């Protein structure tokens, strides 16, 4: 494998990992924030039922995915198009 091909593969892998971080960050951060708020409310009210935290986190994650879905989907499509454009260059 030539140096140019190695550099291209490394760049694609780096961009793919960065894309994974960008796509997964909004739902994960929403779940984290809602989990912390619900946890604080549960500690303040001394209600320690684990199922109480599940529904607000689920609603928050779904809402964030619905809101940020078009942007995140466009990023994934852009990356896929770039990878497909590189196919003729692979030998």
- pLDDT per position as a tens digit, 40-89: 999 899 888 888 889 999 999 999 999 999 999 999 999 999 999 988 87
Return d(Cα 72, Cα 25) in angstroms, integer.
Answer: 10
Q: What is the DSSP string of 31-90?
A: HHHHHHHHHHHHHHHT---THHHHHHHHHHHHHHHHHHHHHHHHHHHHHHHHHHHHGGG-
**pLDDT bracket for residue 5 (50, 70, 90):** confident
- Are 33 and 86 contacting, i.e. CB atoms less than 8 angstroms apart? no
With CA atoms as reference, report the closest residue to 65 among 29, 19, 36: 29
Which pLDDT belongs to residue 89?
79
The pTM of this model reads: 0.79
Three-state DSSP class for residue 91: coil
């Amino acid at each position: 494998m030539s140096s140019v091909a190695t550099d291209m593969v490394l760049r694609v892998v780096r961009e793919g990992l960065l894309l994974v971080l960008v796509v997964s960050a909004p739902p994960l951060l929403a779940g984290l924030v809602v989990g912390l708020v619900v946890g604080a409310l549960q500690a303040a009210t001394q209600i320690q039922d684990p199922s109480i935290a599940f529904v607000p986190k689920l609603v928050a994650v779904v809402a964030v995915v619905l809101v940020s879905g078009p942007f995140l989907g466009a990023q994934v499509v852009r990356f896929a198009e770039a990878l497909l454009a590189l196919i003729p260059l692979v030998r």
